[in-house]
Structure 1
Amino acid sequence: MNASLSCQCFMKKHLYRKQSNKEQSLWAFFLTLCLVATLAIALSFEIIGGYLPCHLCLLERLPYYGALPLLILAGLLAWASCLPSLVRFLFICVFVLMATSLGLAIYHTGVEYHFWPAPAHCSLNTTTLTTGVDQLFTSLEKPPASPSCAQAPMRFLFLSFAGWNVLASLLFMLLSLYVASKGLLSNDG
C-alpha cells in the first residue's frame, strides 16, 4: 500500500511540477555527452580494436547520429529560455529515436542468439583462394567485407556489442522520456 502511494506521489510531483529551463538544458547536455561517449566507444572498438561493424551495427548508430543535433538544439533553446514546447518536442523526438535504436539492438541481439534469421545482406562472407596476381590486385581494390550480423565478434560480461546497445538505448530512451514528461500536466507545460 505504501509503495503505491509513494509511486502516485512521485508521478503527481513529476507530471505537475514544472521543470526549470536550467534543468532541461543540463539534461540535454548530459544526454549529449552520454551519446557522444557511446559513439566514441563504438568507433574506438572499430578503429583501434579492429572490430569491423556489421550492417546492423551501422544501422544501430543512425538514431544516435540523429539524436545528437536534437539534444544540442534542445539544450541551447532551454538555456536561452526559448520555446519550451519545442524543447519538450525535441526530447520526445530523442525518445522515439532511442526507441528505434532499442528495437534495432534487440533485433540484432536476437540474430546473434539465433532467435530469428539474419537479413539476407548480413550473411557470412566467405573467403576465396587467390590464385593469380590479377585476382590479388582486384581483391585489394575492394573494401574489406563486413562481418556477419549473426556472429558477435566479442562479448564483455556475457553481452555482445548489440547487447550493450540494448541497455544503453533503454537507458537513454527512459531518460529522454523522463525529461519530456516532467511537468507535462502543469499549467505552464
Structure 2
Amino acid sequence: MIDTPAARTARCIVLLVPALLLGGAYVSQYVFGLYPCEMCWWQRYPHFAALALALLAFIAPPQRLWIALAALAIIASGLIGLFHAGVEYHWWQGITGCAAIPSASEGGSALDAIMNTPLVRCDEAAWRLFGISLAGYNFLISSAAGIAAISLLAKKGKRA
C-alpha cells in the first residue's frame, strides 16, 4: 500500500502525465491534422506502457515498483523525444528513412492507403511554439515528470 503523500503524488504524476500527453497527441492528430511520423509513434509507446504500469500501481502491490517503472517509461519517451527533436533541428541524422506508415482501412486497398497518406517527415517539425517542437515539449515534460516521480518515491516522509 502507498504509505506517504509523496508516493501518492508520484502515482498521480505517472498516471496523469502520459494520459495528458497522449491525449494531446491524439487531439493534434485528429483535430488539427498533425499526422505523426515514425519517431512520433516511438514516443507514444513508452507512454502506453507507463499508463498500464500506473494503473497497476492503483490496484496491485508492489505499488512503488509499478510507479518507478512507469516513471522510467515516461523518461524513456522523453529521451526518444530528445532524439527526435535533435533530428528535427538537424543536430544529428535520424536512424531510418522516416515517414508516416500507411495502413489499409477496412474494405480499402493498400494502394489507396498509400496514396491517401500524407507524407510526414521526421526531420521536419510539423508545429513549433517558442521554437520548440512537439518532440521537444515531450522531452521537457516527460523528463521533468519522470524525474519528479522518482524523486518523490525516494523521499522519506511520515506514514499515513
Fold match by TM threshold 0.5: yes
Shift of 1:89: 1.5
Pair 1:94 & 2:70 matched: yes
What does the per-residue CA deviation read over 1:100-149, in whole Å, with 9 as the maximum and x for residues that have no partner?
A: 1122111101100111112233169xxxxxxxxxxxx9853435144110
Structure 2 residues without counterparts, runs of 5 or longer:
101-108
Amino acid at match of 2:72: V
Pair 1:140 & 2:112 matched: yes
> Which residue of 1 is the match for residue 123 of structure 2?
150
Pair 1:52 & 2:35 matched: yes
> Which is richer in helix?
1
Map 1:24-103 → 2, pairs under 5 A = 24-77=7-60, 83=61, 86-103=62-79
Q: 1:51 to 1:88 in 2, by over 3 A?
A: same
When the two structures are aligned, how many residues end up with a matched partner? Answer: 150
Q: Runs of 4 or more off by more than 6 Å in structure 1?
A: none
Shift of 1:169: 1.1
Structure 1 residues without counterparts, runs of 5 or longer:
1-18, 78-82, 125-136
The answer to whether the 8 A contact 1:102-1:169 is kept is yes
Shift of 1:98: 2.0
Pair 1:174 & 2:138 matched: no
Rounded to whole Å, the distance in 1 between the matches of 2:91 and 2:9 is 40
The answer to whether the 8 A contact 1:91-1:179 is kept is no
- Which structure has the greater CA radius of gyration? 1
RMSD: 2.8
- When normalised by structure 2's length, the TM-score is 0.79
Rounded to whole Å, the distance in 1 between the matches of 2:99 and 2:18 is 29
What does the per-residue CA deviation read over 1:128-185, in whole Å, with 9 as the maximum and x for residues that have no partner?
A: xxxxxxxxx985343514411000011112211001001111112112211331239x
Rounded to whole Å, the distance in 1 between the matches of 2:88 and 2:41 is 15
Rounded to whole Å, the distance in 1 between the matches of 2:142 and 2:20 is 13
> Which residue of 2 is the match for residue 115 of structure 1?
91
Q: 1:31 to 1:138 in 2, by over 3 A?
A: closer
How high is the sequence identity, in percent, across the aligned residues?
Answer: 23
